Structure 1
């Protein structure tokens, strides 16, 4: 990477880390919210699906804006808005207000990925490597954000913990304004016309996109998103079912071992992100995508059996899940970039994150339904099936 790429990595990775800090800290609050608001896993799963889903619903709009305006400014607005939204989460006094607050957070969160990824696609010289470092940077937030949350929840009420996390966005926004880099030519243009012209251009570009292999790639991403959200939303509570990971008292504080295993899973994802991104510089991105789906299907299928072998085996399969579930992200990002032209990178990532976080958010509702009416073992059987379908979609993408 050159100096410009390194500055680009610093800027985008900060915002990416903040996004995942909030996104992956939410599951640590889920059990507390179910207890405080006296609702079932199915109800809270549906509420989370609405909030998380708005990340996807807003993504196409963000994608269009990213093709017309400065992605840098959009990213900074996303950072500040996420902080405000998560701060309001701390004020929720019921499940409806909680859902509204998470939805507001999701509105601002929806801006980041289309803007950040299109900025990288148009600006980076070493695109695959920048995607890899960007993904790894995001996973720093994925790992240490929930770790910070778990530590906060040991000592303070969940409202104070949520409020403290919201303040982090102000610091990230301030640092982001100080990082300078040169934009790519396609990013600098940012030409806009009338609203009618923009709508016509968006419809035209959308038709062009969906007439290509992008459509099949989008289906694969949708299935990955469903697996991702279905796995992670209730994972701390699923892990707590293990006798050796149940909460215990230590020095008048409640320790939640399952939360730390969950955090370890997310930490390993840093390595997965890096390996996945670098892999696409060496092998076909579709081959890598298929391979990751195959592993995810296998890990979900064996999870219920491995859990019976003891804590070491359970932690081991969790670490593998973390590595491969996050290693898939930079792979599909390159697949999407290769399936669309420079002029519509923002729009393509907008549709991608509509699938990933919008439709994929139904994974939270699906997981809540299965856990309410079935068992965690049944949930992992469902997840294995979803990953198998994803692999089948990639096989279609690989056909000449």
Structure 2
């Protein structure tokens, strides 16, 4: 996607009932950010559901805005530490204005969004100015219906208050979304709808209205590729995270351009002599993460997010039949960490046996912390021993107990690797 320009953002709002599933879908389907509104926390007066925020963030690559249930600084901290990129507050900003300043000073104004309900606020422009003074970094403007007065108010806030604005709509019509972005000149638009929306189609309407949105654009025309005698180019399709080769198929100009336009892998079926969007029949879509051409410009490498199985046989990948094989060690360190972590988490979620892991979780956090502390001490002692086997064993033991602690406190390897990546 073209990231050189400042693009308008399309932000779907997630439903409470199937938030993780919808988050995964929109992560692949072209959303720029997603928003999760915890209406139960707002209505019932309970704390924000940090666990669901963590689940969503573990499932997606795009930023998450956490909305609802914020009443004090600790709520903001918990949501951000759970993985949310930004926290949005409405009633808290009205009832405790100093909280906006405290949160902004602590975590940065760019992470604090304040909501203005234009159907309730008597002086939205004045209130927007106040929120900016308090430290808000962005404004979310809510409304009941799209009426001319709403557009006028939004434009007035845009002209008089120098803060990024998110407008909102219940419409899923691409032309209506484009019209609102054009009329308001807002930086982002939040879409409130419980059905799965075709974000790429909405973005296409925006682009046709000369609105800069983040869409796939090929760096070279299809005519620059070297095709085979049938006018096709082979495409090797690979999982974008694991690097696993999923399948090989062919593309012509029409399928390539549809892939670019929709963000879903579309091939040319040589047997049926027709376009073939992977997943239209099975639901096992391949959402594009990147397309790369090789040095000879005669083969495409597609990195995708694969839904379900890639192979028509039901196998995860089409490459499952060994022809020849030499034994080798293909251990992937990160995969091992993930597998052990998932086993530990499964033991915690489904206790019932007499395993050591269940024993630890049964004893609680203090026992786990004691084992982590003992493990760290054993590493120090082993490091003084010239026998490297001892330190290898102690580090492994320590990492196991550390993962028990991570599971107990809801920390994933994704959280850790992202934090380390930010420090590079």
Q: TM-score, normalised by structure 1?
A: 0.24
The structure with the greater share of residues assigned to strand is 2
Q: Indicate the structure whose relative CO is greater, using CA pairs within 8 Å and at least 6 residues apart.
A: 1
Greater radius of gyration (CA) = 2
